[in-house]
Structure 1
Amino acid sequence: MYLTIHDVAKRTGLTTYTLRYYAKEGLFDFVTRSSNKIGTRLFKESDLEFIYLIKCLKNAGLTIKEIKTFVDWTMAGDATISKRRAMFQERRTALQKQLAELQATLDVVDYKCWYYQVADDAGTCAVHDTLADDELPEKMRRVKHQLAAQHNFTAD
């Protein structure tokens, strides 16, 4: 049984526009086409796994050109295994760095939520001038000191 582009869109969460764009860029060269004049793409269930992988690669920050290279390597077979592995290792390293940066950003946002909650409860931001370091929750103390060290300012 074959799936239409609309079926694939529903199953993958990608729009038909995105799927057609990916097809135009050569990302679906592995998909069977009908023999009619139009050459309609006939997606199989097994094609969905690869489409999910393409979606993952896009979400991981690869460009269409980089994804096309990966698709080409995959279609070339086992001779490109080391290239594909290296690509995933590089992407994992980049994503780990992004995650660390996002965690640091989230820590600051958490700090500011805490900061303004305390200030709101007291009716003034000046309440923070009266708090000793040991009165701050450990995580908030750490973030406050990191902010001060990075920017050489008080963390208002």
Structure 2
Amino acid sequence: KLRRVKQFMEWCAQGSETYPQRHALFVQQAERVEAEIARLQKSLDMIRFKCWYYEQAMRDGSEDRVHAMLPDQLPPDIQPIYDHAHET
């Protein structure tokens, strides 16, 4: 990261002819951040599903009913979370 900052500062000192390089640097950074957000969203969906799963299991006193809903008979608000968390 420090190397990228140094490179960016050098490009700034060189002036407007380095706008394309600076732009490309930020485009690459945006892509990295978007990929990380997607990875984190998938993890969050898994956590949300597990919270729901164990709330149901605690209410029922067992996992049997909830487990029988897997993988495609979950409530409409939970199914997309489960599906996203389990995408390969």
Give percent identity, aligned residues only. 26
Which residue is equivalent to 1:73? 11
- Distance, in Å, in 1 between the alignment partners of 2:45 and 2:76 is 12
Larger C-alpha radius of gyration, 1 or 2? 1
Question: How far did 1:145 drift?
Answer: 4.4
Distance 1:116 1:137 in 2: 15
1:79, distance to aligned residue in structure 2 (A): 1.6
Runs of 4+ deviating beyond 4 Å: none
Counterparts in 2 of 1:130 and 1:90: CA distance versus 1, 3 Å: closer
User: TM-score, normalised on structure 1?
Assistant: 0.48
Q: Which has the higher contact order (CA 8 A, sep 6+)?
A: 2
- Shift of residue 140 of structure 1? 2.1
- Give 1:116 shift: 0.8
Q: Which residue among 108, 113, 117 is the counterpart of 2:51?
A: 113
| TM-score of the superposed pair, with normalisation by structure 2 | 0.79
RMSD: 2.1
Contact kept in structure 1, 2:48 and 2:81, CA below 8 Å: no
Question: Match of 2:64, as an amino acid?
Answer: A
2:19 and 2:83 map into 1 onto residues whose CA distance is 46
Post-superposition Cα deviations, 1:17-62, rounded to whole Å, max 9, x if no partner, equal xxxxxxxxxxxxxxxxxxxxxxxxxxxxxxxxxxxxxxxxxxxxxx
- Tell me the equivalent position of 2:76: 138
More helix, by proportion: 2
Q: 1:75 to 1:139 in 2, by over 3 A?
A: farther
Q: 1:71-118: CA deviations, max 9, x gaps?
A: 111122112111000100111112111111111111111101111111
Q: Gaps (5+ residues) in structure 1?
A: 1-62, 151-156
Q: How does 1:35-114 map to 2 (within 5 A)?
A: 63-114=1-52
